[in-house]
Amino acid sequence: MGLVCAALNVKDTEAALGAMRRAKLAGAGLAELRLDLMEEFDLERLLTYRPLPVIVTYRRKDQGGGRGCEESERLAALSRALELGAEYVDVELGSLAELERSGAGRVIVSHHDFEKFPEDVAGLAREIAGRGADVVKIAVTPAHPLECLPLYGLPAACTKPVIAVGMGEFGAASRLLSLRFGAYLSYGALSAEECTAPGQLAAAEMTGLYRAGELGETTRLFGVIGDPVAHSLSPAVHNTAYRRMNLDAVYVSFRVPDRPEEFLRRYTRLGFEGFSVTIPHKRAALECADDADDAARAIGAANTITVIAGRGRATNTDADAAVNQLVAAFEGADRLAGKTVLLLGAGGAARAAGWGLLRAGVKLVVANRTVERGRKLAEELGADFRALDDLEGLAYDAAVNATSLGMSPRTAGTPLAAELIRPGTVIFDTVYNPLSTRLLREAEKRGARAVDGIGMFVEQAAAQILQWTGRKAWPRLMREAALERLESR
Ligand code: NAP
C-alpha cells in the first residue's frame, strides 16, 4: 500500500530534525534528506535522532542537485549514511559503482530528467534494475498526461521495486496514481512552499485527502480533465466524499491541454471509471463518447463521462444542479414553474442552466453581452432574448448569473446593475470563487434573496458520484470541503 516520503527542503541539521517531526505528523512514512540542498549537515546527529526512516540523497548537480561538490565528497557522504544505518540512500546510476555499500540500508538508483520524458522508460527501468539497484527510481518530465501512461506499467513489469514519478504539472496525478499501480513510494513536500521537485503535492494532502496510504490495485479511479485545472475544487470535494463513504477510490486532476479524446480513451483503458470534464473539453467529451443522455445531447456539452463496460457515456449534471438551486429558493418545483427567470450569459453554464430551467417550466429570458451568441442560444432553447445592456424595465422573479463576471480575479464585475435588482426576487450566482460576489452583495442590499454558486457545484459533483458508484454522496460535507479549500486560497 502507498508509502509517502516527505522530501525535505531545509538548510541545516536542526531544521531537518524539526522537518522530520513535521513529516511524521503529516502522515509520511519516510523522510528524504536532501543533503545537496543543505548548507550544513551533521549526518551522525541526523541519523541518531531521526524520528522516521530516511532516504539520504546527495543529488548530483546535473541531475537536479542543489549545489555542486566533488564527486568523492558526495559519495563519501552517502556511503557514511549507510554505515550509520540509514534505511535508504539514493544515488544516480552513473555513480553507483563508486558507492561503498555497508549495513542493511537499501540503495535506490535513480534517473532524473527535468526536461522531457524518455522514449523507453521500461528499458531504462530494466537497465537500472539489472545494475544492482535495490529500488529503481525514475523521475521524468511529461509534456502531456498521456506521456505518463508507461509509468504505470513499470511496477508490475520490473524485477525490483519501482518509484515512478512524472514531474511538473502534467505529471502531478502520477504522484498518486503510481501508488495505485504498485509503486514503492511517492514523494510529497512538507508544504506547497517547500517543494524539492516541480509538481509535488503536500505530503499531508497525499496522506489525508487522497488517502495515499490506502491506494492499491483495488482502488477505483476517477478524475477531472480540463485546462486549467490547478485550482479546481473537485479533488477536495470528491475525495472528501469518498472517504466518508468508505469508498476505496481516488479522484485526481489532469491538466489536458489538447487531445482530450485520446486522453479519455487511453485513461479509460487504464481503468478509470469516471471523468468530470471542465473547460475547454466539454464539447469534445460529448463528441467522443460512445453514448450520451438527453441532457448532454440537448446542451451540446458533457461535464461527466461514466465508463460502463469500457464504454464512455456522456451526461451533464450541471443542468439539474442549477435548477435545484432555484427549486430550493422557491421552496418547491411547482412554485418555480411559471416564474420568469432572467438568464445572464450564453456560454456553457448558461446553456446547461437554460435547458434545465425550461424543462422546469419557467419563462426564460436570455441576456448576453454578445448579442449574436445570446440570440442564438435563446433561439435554440426557445427563450426570449435581451441584450445585457438593455434590461431596464424587465420584470423577472429570479436572475441567474452564468457569465464569468464577478469571478476571481475580476471580482469587481457584475452582470446586473444594482438598480436593476428587483426586491423580493431570487438572485442566483453560479460563480463560487469568490463565494460572496458583488452581485450577491448588491442583491442582499436591495432586498433580494441571494443564492451562491457552491450549492450547484456540490450538487453536480454529488450527481457524478451517484452515476459512478450508484451511491449517494455527502453534500454537506462536500460543501464544507469546498469552502475550506476556497478559504485557504
Ligand atoms: P463560457 O462558456 O466561457 O461563457 C462565459 C459567459 O460569460 C459568456 O456569456 C460571456 O459573454 C460572458 N462574459 C464573459 N466576460 C464578460 C464580460 N466582461 N461582460 C459580460 N459578459 C461576459 O463560460 P461558462 O463555462 O459558461 O462559465 C461561466 C460561469 O459559470 C463561470 O464563472 C463559472 O464559474 C460558472 N459555473 C459555475 C458552475 C457551478 O457549479 N457553480 C458550473 C459551471 C460554470 P460573451 O458571449 O459576450 O463572451
pLDDT per residue as tens digits for the range 351-368: 999 999 999 999 999 999
Tell me which residue of 231, 276, 192 sits closest to 432, measured CA to CA: 231
Measured from the Cβ of residue 4, the count of other Cβ atoms closer than 10 Å reads 28
**3-state SS record for 269-325:** HHCEEEEEECCCCHHHHHHHCCEECHHHHHHCCCCEEEEECCEEEEECCHHHHHHHH
Our CA dihedral for 177, 182, 188, 192, rounded to 10 degrees, sits at: 0
Question: With 80 as the cut, is the pLDDT of residue 11 above it?
Answer: yes
Q: Give the mean model confidence (pLDDT) for residues 204-211.
A: 97
pLDDT band at 307 (very low <50, low <70, confident <90, very high): very high
Task: Report d(CA 246, CA 471) in Å as an integer.
Answer: 11
Among 111-125, 173-187, 191-205, 443-457, the range scoring the smallest mean pLDDT is 191-205
Q: Give the mean model confidence (pLDDT) for residues 19-34.
A: 97
Determine the pLDDT at residue 195. 84
pLDDT band at 344 (very low <50, low <70, confident <90, very high): very high
Q: Which residues lie with the beta carbon below 6 Å from any ligand 1 atom?
A: 279, 318, 345-350, 368-370, 373, 388, 402-405, 407, 415, 430-432, 453, 456-457, 460
Determine the pLDDT at residue 163. 98
Determine the pLDDT at residue 365. 98
Question: With 90 as the cut, is the pLDDT of residue 403 above it?
Answer: yes
Determine the pLDDT at residue 243. 97
CB-based burial of residue 279 (10 Å sphere; 0-12 exposed, 13-18 middle, 19+ buried)? middle
Distance from the alpha carbon of residue 223 to the mean position of ligand 1, in angstroms: 23
Question: With 80 as the cut, is the pLDDT of residue 1 above it?
Answer: no
Determine the pLDDT at residue 67. 80
Instruction: Give the mean pLDDT of the chain.
Output: 96
Question: With 80 as the cut, is the pLDDT of residue 179 above it?
Answer: yes
Determine the pLDDT at residue 69. 83
Q: In terms of pLDDT, which residue wins out, 69 or 120?
A: 120
Question: What pLDDT, in 10s, does the model give residues 56-82?
Answer: 999 988 888 888 788 899 999 999 999
Contact predicate 383/376, CB 8 Å = no
Catalytic residue positions, numbered: 112, 137, 282, 318
Probe ligand 1: pick from 404, 410, 464, 478, max atoms within 8 Å of CB?
404
pLDDT band at 276 (very low <50, low <70, confident <90, very high): very high
* Nearest CA residue ID for atom 18, ligand 1: 405
Determine the pLDDT at residue 199. 84
Atom of ligand 1 nearest to the CA of 282: 25
Distance from the alpha carbon of residue 480 to the mean position of ligand 1, in angstroms: 24
Which pTM was predicted? 0.95
Q: Give the mean model confidence (pLDDT) for residues 97-126.
A: 95
Cβ neighbours of residue 337 closer than 8 Å, sequence gap 6 or more: 360, 361, 362
SS3 assignment, position 410: coil
* Nearest CA residue ID for atom 40, ligand 1: 457
Distance from the alpha carbon of residue 344 to the mean position of ligand 1, in angstroms: 9
C-alpha cell, 53 = 526512516
* Nearest CA residue ID for atom 17, ligand 1: 405
DSSP 427: E
Contact predicate 226/197, CB 8 Å = no
Q: Please name the helix (run of DSSP H) or strand (run of DSSP E) that holds residue 250, with its range, or none.
A: strand 249-255
C-alpha cell, 203 = 505530503
Atom of ligand 1 nearest to the CA of 403: 7
How far is CA 326 from each of CA 318, 335, 453, rounded to the nearest angstrom?
13, 10, 11
Residue written as grid cell 535495490: 134
* Nearest CA residue ID for atom 32, ligand 1: 404
How far is CA 471 from each of CA 53, 246, 247, 275, 461, rounded to the nearest angstrom?
39, 11, 10, 16, 12
Distance from the alpha carbon of residue 281 to the mean position of ligand 1, in angstroms: 15
Atom of ligand 1 nearest to the CA of 349: 26
Peptide bond into 150 cis (omega under 30): no
Tell me which residue of 1, 456, 461 sits closest to 213, measured CA to CA: 1
* Nearest CA residue ID for atom 20, ligand 1: 369
Residue written as grid cell 446553456: 351
Distance from the alpha carbon of residue 108 to the mean position of ligand 1, in angstroms: 49
Phi-psi region of 168 (alpha: psi -120 to 50; beta: other; left: phi over 0): left
Task: Report d(CA 421, CA 254) in Å as an integer.
Answer: 39
Q: Give the mean model confidence (pLDDT) for residues 159-185.
A: 97
Phi-psi region of 332 (alpha: psi -120 to 50; beta: other; left: phi over 0): left
DSSP 100: P
Determine the pLDDT at residue 358. 98
Contact predicate 461/478, CB 8 Å = yes
Probe ligand 1: pick from 403, 410, 457, max atoms within 8 Å of CB?
403
Atom of ligand 1 nearest to the CA of 351: 26
Distance from the alpha carbon of residue 261 to the mean position of ligand 1, in angstroms: 24
pLDDT band at 197 (very low <50, low <70, confident <90, very high): confident
Determine the pLDDT at residue 175. 97
